[in-house]
Amino acid sequence: QVPVVESGGGAVQAGGSLRLSCTAGTYTFTYCMAWFRQAPGKEREGVAVIGRGSGPPHYADSVKGRFTISSDNAEDTVYLQMNSLKPEDTAMYYCAARYQEWSETCSSFNEDAFTYWGQGTQVTVSS
């Protein structure tokens, strides 16, 4: 079992920024890592995903141009920089991880493919 721990959530006003962090034990650089979110009364949705190697990250259309996912292999940490936040970004944000073979791509938001999940961190954006 890989412990996945998120941090960095909070309450901000619309237009503000937050940076979420996620650690998944050691060897994070071997994982495909993703951020998902779930708003009250809605299904969980993929937000951003990043894999090992040089492949580009992928984003949900709703956050493109505002959110940036990045990884720091030395710190075994994945970040989600969220700028220009909107009230509709309010949700519980979850980090998820799965081992990624070098031959695989890491671009899907298929929840069933992710093995390890964190408990979530709340993001609340007020208007």
Q: Please report the pLDDT score of residue 90 as a whole number.
A: 98
CA gap 34, 53 in Å, rounded: 15
For residue 111, the tally of other CB atoms under 10 A from its CB is: 15
Q: Please report the pLDDT score of residue 76 as a whole number.
A: 86
Of residues 90, 116, 76, 74, the one with CA closest to residue 18: 90
Mean predicted lDDT score pLDDT of the chain: 93
Q: Please report the pLDDT score of residue 95 as a whole number.
A: 97
Place of tokens 């949900």: 60
- In the three-class reduction of DSSP (H, G, I as helix; E, B as strand; rest coil), residue 10 is classed as strand
What parts of the chain have a pLDDT lower than 50? Answer: none
Give the single-character DSSP code of 106: -
Of residues 34, 44, 5, 38, the one with CA closest to residue 96: 34
Q: Please report the pLDDT score of residue 16 as a whole number.
A: 98
Contact predicate 35/86, CB 8 Å = no
Give the single-character DSSP code of 52: S
